Amino acid sequence: MRARVESALVWLLCAAPLLLILAWGFTGDLTANPVEFVLRDLGLWGLRFLCLTLAVTLLAKYGRMPRLMRYRRRIGLWAFAYVTLHLLTYVVIAHEFDWAEIATDIAKRPYITIGMGAFALLVPLAVTSANAVRRKMSPRAWRKLHRLVYLIAIMGVIHYFLLVKADTSSPLLYGGIVLVLLAARMPLGSLFKGAGNRAVQR
Protein backbone atom coordinates (compact mmCIF):
# COMPACT_ATOMS: atom_id res chain seq x y z
CA MET A 1 0.00 0.00 0.00
CA ARG A 2 2.78 2.41 1.00
CA ALA A 3 4.64 1.57 -2.22
CA ARG A 4 1.52 2.34 -4.28
CA VAL A 5 0.96 5.72 -2.65
CA GLU A 6 4.66 6.55 -3.04
CA SER A 7 4.57 5.52 -6.71
CA ALA A 8 1.42 7.58 -7.39
CA LEU A 9 3.00 10.59 -5.66
CA VAL A 10 6.16 10.36 -7.78
CA TRP A 11 4.01 10.06 -10.91
CA LEU A 12 1.97 13.11 -9.92
CA LEU A 13 5.06 15.19 -9.10
CA CYS A 14 6.60 14.31 -12.48
CA ALA A 15 3.39 15.16 -14.35
CA ALA A 16 2.68 18.34 -12.34
CA PRO A 17 4.58 20.81 -14.60
CA LEU A 18 2.74 19.47 -17.66
CA LEU A 19 -0.63 19.54 -15.88
CA LEU A 20 0.08 23.14 -14.85
CA ILE A 21 0.84 24.15 -18.46
CA LEU A 22 -2.42 22.50 -19.57
CA ALA A 23 -4.36 24.24 -16.77
CA TRP A 24 -2.86 27.62 -17.71
CA GLY A 25 -3.80 26.87 -21.32
CA PHE A 26 -7.44 26.38 -20.34
CA THR A 27 -7.55 29.48 -18.14
CA GLY A 28 -5.71 31.61 -20.73
CA ASP A 29 -2.76 32.29 -18.41
CA LEU A 30 0.06 31.35 -20.78
CA THR A 31 1.32 34.99 -20.97
CA ALA A 32 1.11 37.31 -23.98
CA ASN A 33 3.36 34.97 -25.98
CA PRO A 34 1.99 31.49 -25.22
CA VAL A 35 4.08 29.58 -27.80
CA GLU A 36 7.36 30.98 -26.49
CA PHE A 37 6.24 30.44 -22.90
CA VAL A 38 5.29 26.77 -23.47
CA LEU A 39 8.43 26.10 -25.54
CA ARG A 40 10.70 27.57 -22.87
CA ASP A 41 8.88 26.03 -19.93
CA LEU A 42 8.99 22.53 -21.45
CA GLY A 43 12.72 22.97 -22.26
CA LEU A 44 13.45 24.08 -18.72
CA TRP A 45 11.56 21.13 -17.24
CA GLY A 46 13.39 18.79 -19.62
CA LEU A 47 16.69 20.08 -18.25
CA ARG A 48 15.47 19.95 -14.64
CA PHE A 49 14.36 16.32 -15.04
CA LEU A 50 17.69 15.42 -16.64
CA CYS A 51 19.45 16.89 -13.58
CA LEU A 52 17.02 15.05 -11.31
CA THR A 53 17.76 11.75 -13.07
CA LEU A 54 21.46 12.27 -12.37
CA ALA A 55 20.80 13.35 -8.78
CA VAL A 56 18.69 10.25 -8.03
CA THR A 57 21.67 7.91 -8.40
CA LEU A 58 23.73 10.07 -6.08
CA LEU A 59 21.00 10.56 -3.47
CA ALA A 60 20.24 6.84 -3.46
CA LYS A 61 23.88 5.92 -3.08
CA TYR A 62 25.26 8.52 -0.73
CA GLY A 63 22.08 9.89 0.87
CA ARG A 64 21.00 6.46 2.13
CA MET A 65 17.82 6.52 0.04
CA PRO A 66 18.13 3.31 -2.00
CA ARG A 67 14.34 3.22 -2.62
CA LEU A 68 14.78 6.22 -4.91
CA MET A 69 16.48 3.95 -7.46
CA ARG A 70 13.18 2.29 -8.35
CA TYR A 71 12.01 5.68 -9.72
CA ARG A 72 15.13 6.59 -11.69
CA ARG A 73 13.87 5.12 -14.94
CA ARG A 74 10.51 6.86 -14.56
CA ILE A 75 12.14 10.23 -13.89
CA GLY A 76 14.47 9.72 -16.86
CA LEU A 77 11.51 8.92 -19.10
CA TRP A 78 9.75 12.07 -17.92
CA ALA A 79 12.89 14.04 -18.89
CA PHE A 80 12.56 12.47 -22.34
CA ALA A 81 8.83 13.32 -22.45
CA TYR A 82 9.43 16.99 -21.59
CA VAL A 83 12.24 17.34 -24.14
CA THR A 84 10.11 15.59 -26.80
CA LEU A 85 7.18 17.93 -26.11
CA HIS A 86 9.65 20.85 -26.23
CA LEU A 87 10.83 19.68 -29.67
CA LEU A 88 7.24 19.07 -30.84
CA THR A 89 6.24 22.59 -29.76
CA TYR A 90 9.13 23.90 -31.84
CA VAL A 91 8.33 21.77 -34.93
CA VAL A 92 4.52 21.73 -34.86
CA ILE A 93 3.48 25.03 -33.27
CA ALA A 94 6.41 27.43 -33.68
CA HIS A 95 7.41 26.31 -37.19
CA GLU A 96 4.23 24.57 -38.41
CA PHE A 97 6.20 21.69 -40.00
CA ASP A 98 8.18 24.07 -42.21
CA TRP A 99 11.05 21.60 -42.72
CA ALA A 100 13.09 23.98 -44.89
CA GLU A 101 12.98 26.63 -42.16
CA ILE A 102 13.78 24.01 -39.49
CA ALA A 103 16.75 22.69 -41.52
CA THR A 104 18.07 26.26 -41.91
CA ASP A 105 17.67 26.77 -38.16
CA ILE A 106 19.59 23.55 -37.40
CA ALA A 107 22.40 24.57 -39.77
CA LYS A 108 22.61 28.23 -38.81
CA ARG A 109 21.84 28.37 -35.09
CA PRO A 110 24.38 26.53 -32.96
CA TYR A 111 21.96 26.28 -30.03
CA ILE A 112 19.42 24.45 -32.22
CA THR A 113 22.17 22.17 -33.62
CA ILE A 114 23.25 21.25 -30.09
CA GLY A 115 19.63 20.82 -28.90
CA MET A 116 18.94 18.46 -31.81
CA GLY A 117 22.14 16.55 -31.08
CA ALA A 118 21.11 16.17 -27.43
CA PHE A 119 17.67 14.92 -28.47
CA ALA A 120 19.18 12.42 -30.94
CA LEU A 121 21.32 11.01 -28.12
CA LEU A 122 18.35 10.87 -25.75
CA VAL A 123 16.25 8.65 -28.05
CA PRO A 124 18.38 5.46 -27.71
CA LEU A 125 18.38 5.90 -23.93
CA ALA A 126 14.57 6.06 -23.88
CA VAL A 127 14.29 3.03 -26.20
CA THR A 128 16.71 0.91 -24.16
CA SER A 129 14.86 1.79 -20.94
CA ALA A 130 12.19 -0.74 -21.84
CA ASN A 131 12.79 -3.97 -19.91
CA ALA A 132 12.45 -6.13 -23.02
CA VAL A 133 15.18 -4.16 -24.82
CA ARG A 134 17.35 -3.90 -21.71
CA ARG A 135 17.32 -7.68 -21.27
CA LYS A 136 18.74 -8.10 -24.77
CA MET A 137 21.80 -5.96 -23.93
CA SER A 138 24.76 -6.86 -21.76
CA PRO A 139 24.62 -4.94 -18.44
CA ARG A 140 28.01 -3.39 -19.27
CA ALA A 141 26.85 -2.12 -22.67
CA TRP A 142 23.63 -0.80 -21.15
CA ARG A 143 25.46 1.08 -18.40
CA LYS A 144 27.95 2.49 -20.88
CA LEU A 145 25.15 3.72 -23.16
CA HIS A 146 23.24 5.27 -20.27
CA ARG A 147 26.27 7.24 -19.12
CA LEU A 148 25.49 9.39 -22.17
CA VAL A 149 22.91 11.12 -19.98
CA TYR A 150 25.75 13.24 -18.54
CA LEU A 151 26.78 14.38 -22.02
CA ILE A 152 23.14 15.08 -22.89
CA ALA A 153 22.71 17.21 -19.76
CA ILE A 154 25.90 19.15 -20.61
CA MET A 155 24.63 19.68 -24.17
CA GLY A 156 21.30 20.86 -22.73
CA VAL A 157 23.15 23.42 -20.61
CA ILE A 158 25.24 24.63 -23.59
CA HIS A 159 22.03 24.87 -25.66
CA TYR A 160 20.51 27.01 -22.89
CA PHE A 161 23.66 29.12 -22.44
CA LEU A 162 23.86 29.91 -26.18
CA LEU A 163 20.25 30.99 -26.46
CA VAL A 164 20.01 33.41 -23.55
CA LYS A 165 20.76 36.92 -24.65
CA ALA A 166 21.78 38.81 -21.53
CA ASP A 167 21.47 37.15 -18.13
CA THR A 168 23.45 33.89 -18.17
CA SER A 169 23.01 33.18 -14.45
CA SER A 170 20.36 30.46 -14.93
CA PRO A 171 22.27 28.35 -17.51
CA LEU A 172 25.43 28.78 -15.43
CA LEU A 173 23.56 27.53 -12.35
CA TYR A 174 22.38 24.41 -14.21
CA GLY A 175 25.91 23.98 -15.60
CA GLY A 176 27.25 24.05 -12.03
CA ILE A 177 24.68 21.47 -10.91
CA VAL A 178 25.55 19.09 -13.77
CA LEU A 179 29.30 19.48 -13.11
CA VAL A 180 28.88 18.73 -9.39
CA LEU A 181 26.77 15.64 -10.22
CA LEU A 182 29.35 14.52 -12.77
CA ALA A 183 32.29 15.12 -10.40
CA ALA A 184 30.55 13.02 -7.76
CA ARG A 185 30.51 10.05 -10.19
CA MET A 186 34.18 10.50 -11.12
CA PRO A 187 37.07 9.14 -9.02
CA LEU A 188 36.63 12.41 -7.10
CA GLY A 189 33.31 10.92 -6.00
CA SER A 190 35.23 8.70 -3.62
CA LEU A 191 35.29 11.75 -1.33
CA PHE A 192 31.61 11.09 -0.67
CA LYS A 193 32.13 7.40 -0.12
CA GLY A 194 31.73 7.50 3.66
CA ALA A 195 27.98 7.20 3.33
CA GLY A 196 28.12 4.91 0.28
CA ASN A 197 25.57 2.17 -0.02
CA ARG A 198 26.82 -0.92 -1.78
CA ALA A 199 23.30 -2.25 -2.21
CA VAL A 200 22.58 0.45 -4.78
CA GLN A 201 23.73 -0.52 -8.24
CA ARG A 202 25.03 2.12 -10.62
Stretch that binds ligand HEM, among 66-74, 82-90, 131-139, 184-192 (CB under 6 A): 82-90
Toward ligand HEM, which CB reaches closer, 92 or 188?
A: 92
How far is the CA of 45 from the CAs of 67, 94, 118, 183, in angstroms? 23, 18, 15, 23
Judged by CB under 6 A, which stretch of 68-76, 84-92, 123-131, 138-146 contacts ligand HEM?
A: 84-92
Alpha-carbon span 12 to 6, nearest angstrom: 10
172 touching ligand HEM, by CB under 6 A: no
Contact between 148 and 116 under an 8 Å Cβ cutoff? The reply is: no
Residues 116-145 that bind ligand HEM (CB under 6 A): 116, 118-119, 122
Q: Give the count of beta carbons closer than 10 Å to the beta carbon of residue 197.
A: 13
**Residue 135 CB, nearest distance to ligand HEM (Å)?**
26
Cα–Cα distance between 142 and 104 in angstroms, integer?
35
Kindly state whether residue 83 participates in binding ligand HEM, applying the rule CB under 6 A.
yes
Residue with the shortest CB distance to ligand HEM: 43
Cβ 58 to ligand HEM shortest distance, Å = 19
Q: Cβ(67)–Cβ(73) under 8 Å? A: no
Binding flag, residue 149, ligand HEM (CB under 6 A): no
Instruction: Select from 105, 88, 107, 106 the least CA-distant residue to 97.
Output: 88
| Residue number, 146 or 159, with CB nearest to ligand HEM | 159
Q: How far is CA 121 from CA 73, 80, 84, 133, 187, in A?
A: 16, 11, 12, 17, 25
Q: Which residues contact 188 (CB under 8 A, 6 or more apart)?
A: none
Residue span binding ligand HEM (CB under 6 A) among the ranges 36-44, 62-70, 135-143, 185-193 = 36-44
Binding region for ligand HEM (CB under 6 A): 36, 39-40, 43-44, 46-47, 50, 83, 86-87, 90, 112, 115-116, 118-119, 122, 152, 156, 159-160, 163
